[in-house]
A and B are shown apart, each in its own frame.
Chain A
Amino acid sequence: MDSSVKIINEWDIVAARQLGRNVAKELGFGTVDQARITTAISELARNIYLYAGQGEITIEKVENGAKKGMTIISRDQGPGIPDLRKVMEDGFSTSGGLGAGLPGVKRLMDEFSIESEPGKGTLIQSVKWLR
């Protein structure tokens, strides 16, 4: 039931969004949450495309007791992020204070975790719960 999209070129970002949207719709997320989830996927996939060269986006359905939701997993073997604290600060992203980037993903989703090792790659997992 998990499904992944390999991110190699810019069009794969669209495929990842599409996958995320399908799962979100299927789970019953409303249009606003669908837009939030796909925006988060876009940001993560674009980072893979821009900074890691390649990687993949996996979408999983999750259940926690009565709660249902979905997880976006972004995984790559790229250069990694040396200073995680910095990139999670508002206003740090190169787009400069537009609220997007990783802090934006964190805001759009309900849960967010990031692991990164310089030279090895980056793993970001983020969950949105159905309300």
Chain B
Amino acid sequence: MNFRDTMLDEYKEILKTYINDQTEQALYMSQKFSKKSIEYKISPEEMISLHKTSIMEIEPDLPESLLLSLDILLEVMMSYGLAYREHQSLRTIQRELINEIEVAASMQQTLLGTQIPKIPSMDIGAISVPAKQMSGDYYHFVSHENGAISVAIADIIGKGIPAALCMSMIKYSMDSMPEDSQAPGDVLERLNRVVEQNVDPTMFITMFSGLYNPETHLFSYSSAGHEPGFFYHAETGEFEELQAKGLLLGVDKRAKYREYERKLKIGDIILLMSDGVTECRTEEGFLEVETLIGYIKKYIHLGAQDIADKVYKELEYLQDFQLRDDFTLIILKRTS
């Protein structure tokens, strides 16, 4: 039987029990009743009316004034009822939005997917984990016809859906980059013009662009205000920050990006990251560079993908599994 058909009897029963002896049992029953009435979408004004009908049947000799007072209560509850119904419908809308964002997030993953190149002299690993559903981090690899490899990592300042949309644009411009403009400085100059023309002036993008030549083992790179990467010298076991100067993308359309160069010896590693790695926060404050390097050293003997995965696991643990920012880490390890 439907709750709507039985609720009057149920309610009367509870009311009677309570009027006879004021037990906690009856109060508990009424709590259960209210849960059920919410489930069946009984509005507050209906509850008042139900109460009035019940009490009139149980106690026929109640003073008229008391019954009349319930009319006022009912009228006053009207607005509460409306507010409650609005809340319900907003909740439905919210649920729909969440679903849409989930779909968008998985589309973003497909759209932004990039293949990690396989070349003989270099072992490459990458991990990118969004803090929320949509990521504001982006990385991209290109294998060129001459054997060289381009790598790019970008971080959009600004989060969520606007950042994700902006990223699709970056991805598209990267894909349509001509083969002859591989030089990291050129790549950034081009993208800078695209961003400057097309993106809301409140949105900024930092980007690191690199090119590895497997014949000369030279790694050239430029940065548009991006988090500096690290260079690991296998011989000495030392880490060096890959400093590079350059304006954020989208600030000034005439911006030029200087190119820097490093030569990789066997075992040397280049680490690129987003600020979600360095700005990872723990209870004690920001992560110290030494701590990060400590973790990298701990796993340096592993393959590139394993280093990336393991370092991520450590930092995830350190932050109690709550990422505050999108996390991206790329490892380029010269193997031969």
Interface residues of A (CB under 8 A from B): 30-32, 35-36, 39, 90-91, 97-100, 103-104, 107-108
Contact of B74 with A32 in the complex, beta carbons under 8 Å: yes
Chain B residues near A30: list those with CB within 8 A: 49
A100/B79 in contact, CB under 8 A: yes
Interface string of B78-112 (1 = CB under 8 A from A): 11011111110110010000000000000000000
Given contacts A31-B74, A32-B74, contact A98 B46 (CB under 8 A): no
Q: Assuming the A-B contacts A90-B89, A90-B90, A91-B90, are A35 and B83 also in contact, with contact meaning beta carbons closer than 8 angstroms in the complex?
A: no
Could you tell me if B71 and A31 are in contact, using CB atoms closer than 8 angstroms?
Answer: yes
Max chain A Cβ within 10 angstroms of own Cβ: one of B78, B89, B90: B78
Q: Which residues of A contact B90 (CB under 8 A)?
A: 90-91
Q: Is the CB of B74 within 8 A of A104?
A: no
Tell me, in angstroms, the Cα distance from A63 to B45 when the chains sit together: 27
Closest CB pairs A-B (n = 10): A99-B86, A99-B82, A99-B83, A104-B82, A32-B49, A39-B78, A98-B83, A90-B86, A32-B45, A107-B85
Question: In whole Å, how far is B236's beta carbon from the nearest beta carbon of chain A?
Answer: 62
B75 within 8 A of A: yes
CA distance A90 to B83 in the complex (A): 10
Complex: A107 Cα to B84 Cα, angstroms: 11
Q: Is the interface of B mostly helix, strand, loop or mixed?
A: helix
A124–B79 CA distance with the chains assembled, in angstroms: 21
Q: Please report the C-alpha to C-alpha distance between residue A32 and residue B46 in the assembled complex, in whole angstroms.
A: 6
CA of A100 to CA of B87, assembled, Å: 11
Collect the chain A residues with CB atoms within 8 Å of residue B46's CB. Answer: 32
Task: For B78, list chain A residues within 8 Å (CB).
Answer: 35-36, 39
Tell me the complex Cα distance, A5–B141, Å.
73
Q: By the criterion CB–CB under 8 Å, are A97 and B86 in contact?
A: yes
Measured between beta carbons, the chain A residues less than 8 angstroms from B75 are 35, 39
Contacts of B93 in A (CB 8 A): 90
Given contacts A32-B49, A91-B90, A107-B85, contact A99 B74 (CB under 8 A): no
Give Cα distance in the complex from A99 to B79, angstroms. Answer: 7
**Closest A residue by C-beta to B52:** A31
Interface residues of B in 47-86 (CB under 8 A from A): 49, 52, 71, 74-75, 78-79, 81-86
The distance from the CB of B48 to the nearest CB of chain A, in whole angstroms, is 8
